[in-house]
Amino acid sequence: MILETQPAGSPLRGELTPPGDKSISHRALIFSCLASGQSRIEGLLESEDVRATANACRQLGMKLREEDGLLVLDGVGEAGLSAPQAPLDMGNSGTAMRLLAGVLAAQPFATELTGDESLSRRPMMRIVQPLSMMGARIETAEGGTPPLRITGNPELKGIEYHSPIASAQVKSCLLLAGLYAAGRTAVLEPLKSRDHTEKMLPAFGVQLHGECGVLGGSKLTGTTVRVPADISSAAFFMVAGWSHPCDAGDGSRFVDPRPPVLWRRSRW
């Protein structure tokens, strides 16, 4: 594909709200599914990956609808997930597959997680090995890649896992499994990875034990989530603003080191 660009015919000026953060959107859906009661999500990213997560949560029993510009979700609670009637297709989302694997490892039913050609080449042993240490029963394709065939085990045991890599997906997967495991589950990393999960679990009523640990039996309660805008999506407009003369508002033109295109970052 060849892209052809042309200089803008007039100064750039405007204000925009970038799409929601994808990683937080996945977590907002999954946590809302596991929560008791109703949750509301504002600013959820509309993308194929996030739709795959939403569809998987529907197959597991969550109901969702749009209401006054918000997504309203009726969670099923930690013990209310239903066995899906078909494999859960994660599309191209490694985040959704790895996080849901932690949840489904502890359920009293079997599940299969599949994905597209790209996702089917990604490594999954980084979650399968520690989950197996907790008592999970997971089969992968040759080479440790998807699909994941999970035979749920409601009697997982908490562990303290020293992860060889810094990975928010691995950490989140184990913390979610730890919500169903006996005792405490904690993850230690060589470097601190993104802490979306550690910030969002308390918003759903889960108390952290240590910097990155949970106790089995902790329950999530529905809440309101405002997904922050994604700064990487704003980068295109920031670069355009920095590199092109902008409009000062009085007819004059100048090059300002600050971006003339403003963006808003919501909070959750």
Domain borders along the chain are 22-226
Determine the pLDDT at residue 246: 57
Place of tokens 């090059």: 255
Place of tokens 């194929």: 48
Confidence band, pLDDT 50/70/90 cuts, at residue 15 = confident
pLDDT digits (tens, 9 = 90+) for 172-224: 999 999 999 999 999 999 999 999 999 999 999 999 999 999 999 999 999 99
CATH number, domain 22-226, options 3.40.50.80, 3.65.10.10, 3.30.70.20, 3.40.50.10260 = 3.65.10.10
Angle (CA) 250-231-101 rounded to 5° is 160
Report the predicted TM-score, pTM, of the whole model to 2 decimal places. Answer: 0.87
Q: Which residues have C-beta within 8 Å of that of residue 71, sequence separation ≥ 6?
A: 40, 41, 42, 44, 64, 65
Angle (CA) 235-238-244 rounded to 5° is 140
Distance between CA 152 and CA 102 in Å, rounded?
A: 10
